[in-house]
């Protein structure tokens, strides 16, 4: 069965062009710029002049729709994935929380039983382990009771248990982090600096040894400080100075104000920025009290004012954003052209996760994960692996 999307404004990495797309056997069979007749044997979707873009990729999310990936059942994992699909995420990396060793091993064991490609769910590329190797001074909403230094006995067991880990976020300055980084590099796992008190030179060293990304840039990382009266540049400054370092940002309008969104875009450019939700279970849910992490064992949070907060309101606790909101905010708050905002949620994460040969762009041979949305990035059409979801 063939499907043709016509009368659309195609969002491409270099701009927006009027055109059409032909889908066959779950993949994009043809992309045509300008008007062309549809095949007579194709089901036709008239985009009505709306935007047609690749499906979004969220490489850092803890949950949504009332579900958390740490809740402890396969159905909870699928539930969170489906909630994100409703907002345009067609590819996803479930993300863990810092926890006990036993909880981490249980989570890995559970994830091994998950169907990575399941009808009605975004494709699950694998796991993102966030922690537990973090600096206590930058723990944020991560439970400080479970923070620890990288231990070969722990991470080597994890890597023996599964081959489904795609990225691992950790503080690069901790004792044992150099060896840990070399092991991740050997396994082809994306390494990311996170919840870190590292100074500029420590980030430089980590980058030289394989760290490619900075997790939720600005959040829970050191900036300029004084040491014995002298100013010392921090992780944030390193992120700017290293032209080839990627940064992921929570563009929910709360974690980073418009001024910082504009600054990051001005310095890093759309080719080095990845939009992530870092969402917890309250994404897509009404205001109220929720758990970040497993119910009864995680961290209590409050959803209000478009963000999740710790109960004392002293800090944010993940976000309640969905990827469509991130793209919308980059356009409206940071004055970023739409095609570049979309690239930050599609092609950039696809490149980082080494799947840009089949995802992240509207091109022949790529997976037919496609969205249709209006000027406000309100999604009216979702096509997942060639199947019409809505």
pLDDT tens digits, 202-229: 999 999 999 999 999 999 999 999 999 9
Position 181 scores a pLDDT of: 97
Strand 15-24 to strand 27-33: parallel, antiparallel, or no bridges (unpaired)?
A: antiparallel
Position 29 scores a pLDDT of: 96
- Do the beta carbons of residue 50 and residue 374 sit within 8 Å? yes
Position 42 scores a pLDDT of: 86
- Do the beta carbons of residue 323 and residue 84 sit within 8 Å? yes
H/E stretch holding 370 reads strand 370-373
Closest to 96 (Cα-Cα) out of 354, 294, 351, 348: 294
Cβ contacts of 35 within 8 Å, gap of 6 or more: 18, 20
- Do the beta carbons of residue 202 and residue 233 sit within 8 Å? no
Q: Any idea of the CA torsion for 26, 32, 38, 41, to the nearest 10 degrees?
A: -30
- Do the beta carbons of residue 352 and residue 246 sit within 8 Å? yes
- Do the beta carbons of residue 279 and residue 61 sit within 8 Å? yes
Position 1 scores a pLDDT of: 78
pLDDT values of the chain reduced to their tens digit, one per residue, 390 residues:
799 999 999 999 999 999 999 999 999 999 999 987 777 788 999 999 999 999 999 999 999 999 999 998 999 999 999 999 999 999 999 999 888 899 899 999 999 999 999 999 999 999 999 999 999 999 887 888 889 999 999 999 999 999 999 999 999 999 999 999 999 999 999 999 999 999 999 999 999 999 999 999 999 999 999 999 999 999 999 999 999 999 999 999 999 999 999 999 999 999 999 999 999 999 999 999 998 888 887 888 999 999 999 888 888 888 999 999 999 999 999 999 999 999 999 999 999 999 999 999 999 999 999 999 999 999 999 999 999 998
Domains parsed from the chain with CATH numbers? 2-53+365-388 (2.30.40.10), 56-352 (3.20.20.140)
pLDDT tens digits, 259-307: 999 999 999 999 999 999 999 999 999 999 998 888 887 888 999 999 9
- Do the beta carbons of residue 14 and residue 22 sit within 8 Å? no
DSSP state of 199: B
H/E stretch holding 330 reads helix 323-332
Q: Whole-angstrom distance between the N-terminal and C-terminal Cα of the chain?
A: 17
- Longest CA–CA separation in the chain, Å: 75
d(CA 87, CA 77): 16
d(CA 323, CA 202): 31
Closest to 276 (Cα-Cα) out of 338, 308, 318, 221: 318
Which structure tokens are listed for 193? 């600096």
The predicted model scores a pTM of 0.95
d(CA 377, CA 148): 41
> How buried is residue 266: exposed, middle or buried, by Cβ count under 10 Å (0-12/13-18/19+)?
exposed
Closest to 69 (Cα-Cα) out of 100, 108, 125: 108
d(CA 345, CA 324): 9
């Amino acid at each position: 069965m063939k499907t043709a999307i016509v009368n659309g404004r195609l969002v491409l990495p270099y701009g927006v062009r009027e055109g059409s797309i032909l889908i066959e056997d779950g993949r994009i069979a043809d992309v045509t710029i300008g008007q062309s007749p549809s095949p007579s044997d194709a089901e036709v979707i008239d985009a009505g002049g709306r935007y047609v873009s690749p499906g979004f990729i969220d490489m850092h999310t803890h949950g949504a729709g009332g579900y958390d990936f740490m809740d402890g059942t396969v159905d909870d994992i699928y539930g969170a994935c489906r909630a994100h699909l409703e907002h345009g995420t067609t590819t996803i990396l479930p993300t863990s929380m810092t926890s006990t060793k036993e909880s981490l091993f249980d989570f890995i064991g559970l994830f091994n039983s998950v169907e990575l490609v399941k009808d009605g769910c975004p494709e699950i590329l694998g796991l993102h382990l966030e922690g537990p190797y973090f600096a206590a001074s930058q723990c944020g909403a991560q439970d400080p009771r479970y923070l620890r230094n990288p231990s070969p006995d722990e991470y080597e067991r994890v890597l023996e248990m599964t081959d489904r880990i795609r990225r691992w976020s950790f503080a690069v300055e901790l004792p044992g982090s150099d060896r840990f980084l070399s092991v991740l590099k050997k396994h082809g796992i994306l390494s990311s600096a996170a919840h870190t008190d590292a100074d500029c030179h420590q980030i430089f060293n980590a980058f030289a040894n394989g760290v490619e990304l900075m997790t939720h840039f600005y959040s829970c990382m050191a900036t300029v400080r004084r040491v014995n009266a002298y100013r010392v540049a921090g992780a944030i400054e390193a992120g700017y100075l290293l032209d080839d370092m990627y940064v992921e940002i929570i563009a929910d309008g709360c974690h980073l104000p418009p001024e910082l969104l504009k600054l990051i875009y001005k310095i890093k450019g759309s080719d080095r920025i990845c939009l992530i939700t870092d969402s917890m279970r309250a994404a897509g849910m009404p205001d109220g009290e929720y758990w970040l992490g497993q119910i009864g064992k995680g961290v209590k949070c409050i959803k209000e004012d478009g963000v999740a907060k710790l109960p004392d309101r002293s800090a944010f606790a993940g976000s309640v954003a969905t990827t469509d909101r991130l793209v919308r905010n980059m356009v409206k708050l940071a004055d970023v052209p739409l095609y570049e905002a979309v690239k930050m949620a599609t092609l950039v994460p696809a490149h980082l996760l080494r799947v840009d040969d089949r995802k992240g762009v509207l091109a022949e041979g790529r997976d037919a994960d496609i969205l249709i949305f209006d000027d406000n990035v309100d999604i009216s059409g979702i096509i997942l692996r060639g199947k019409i979801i809505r």
